[in-house]
């Protein structure tokens, strides 16, 4: 008599933790591009030069500012990258530098002098090892996205998470930011500013999404036992 026995093995791989983290949606990643419009560093960063960036922020970081018109989220930016477009007129290439982490994200929920409601998010990244710009050390690169859309930022004061204040992930539709789409490179003295021309969400790899849904891999192995 032959009996086929099936052994079912449940493998709880280390990827399960990754999938669970992704499913919680605490981290949000974006990539984008910007074109320089004005520059006091023309030999290094020229008007018309294009730069590409990416960043990740943690929406579970809490506001440390008690005011309800400004949010300060210390350590919210967990990664940032910057690259120059091949063929730029300026000679500056940031690829040799390294950004330091974590870094802060700021928000505003305010009214300007004209009485317009301005809600904004400010992502700033500092680093070391970058080539100099017009003889000055690189200081930071920043992104400023602002809108007059009511309710983009809902600041209730200290202790509120960034995700709760924004009401969800940062919108990637550039038409939403009707007040400002500013990109800026700073040294201690010089400055180059431009406009963000592209912004998109970096999607979670499909393999990790599946792990987040399932979490377990089931393998079936059969063997025959002869009596």
Are 163 and 59 in contact by the 8 Å Cβ rule? The answer is yes
Write out pLDDT tens, residues 77-116: 999 999 999 999 999 999 999 999 989 999 998 887 788 8
Are 164 and 140 contacting, i.e. CB atoms less than 8 angstroms apart?
A: no
Q: Give pLDDT, residue 116.
A: 83
- At residue 2, the pLDDT reads 40
Interior/surface letters 21-31, b for 16+ CB within 10 angstroms, e for the rest: ebeeebebbbe
- Report how many helices (DSSP H) and strands (DSSP E) the chain contains, helices first: 3, 11
pTM of the model: 0.80
Beta bridge partners of 193: 38, 184
List residues bridging with 161 in a β-sheet.
62
pLDDT tens digits, the chain, 227 residues: what are they?
443 333 333 223 333 333 333 334 599 999 999 999 999 999 999 999 999 999 999 999 999 999 999 999 999 999 999 999 999 999 999 999 999 998 999 999 888 778 888 999 999 999 999 999 999 999 999 999 999 988 899 999 999 999 999 999 999 999 999 999 999 999 999 999 999 999 999 987 544 444 444 444 444 444 444 44
């Amino acid at each position: 008599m032959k009996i086929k026995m099936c052994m079912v093995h449940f493998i709880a791989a280390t990827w399960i933790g990754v999938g669970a983290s992704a499913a919680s949606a605490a981290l949000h990643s974006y990539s984008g591009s910007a074109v320089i419009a004005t520059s006091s560093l023309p030999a290094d960063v020229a008007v018309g030069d294009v730069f590409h960036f990416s960043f990740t922020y943690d929406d579970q970081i809490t506001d440390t500012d008690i005011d309800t018109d400004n949010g300060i989220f210390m350590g919210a930016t967990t990664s940032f990258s910057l690259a120059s477009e091949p063929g730029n007129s300026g000679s500056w290439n940031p690829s040799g530098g390294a950004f330091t982490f974590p870094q802060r994200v700021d928000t505003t929920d305010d009214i300007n002098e004209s009485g317009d409601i301005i809600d904004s998010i400010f992502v700033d990244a500092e680093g070391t090892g970058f080539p100099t710009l017009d003889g000055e050390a690189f200081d930071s690169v920043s992104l400023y996205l602002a809108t007059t859309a009511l309710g983009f930022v809902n600041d209730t004061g200290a202790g509120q998470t960034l995700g709760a204040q924004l009401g969800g992930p940062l919108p990637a539709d550039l038409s939403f930011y009707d007040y400002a789409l500013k990109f800026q490179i700073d040294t201690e003295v010089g400055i180059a500013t431009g406009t963000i021309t592209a912004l998109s969400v970096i999607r979670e790899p499909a393999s990790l999404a599946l792990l987040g849904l399932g979490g377990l891999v089931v393998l079936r192995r059969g063997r025959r036992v002869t009596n």
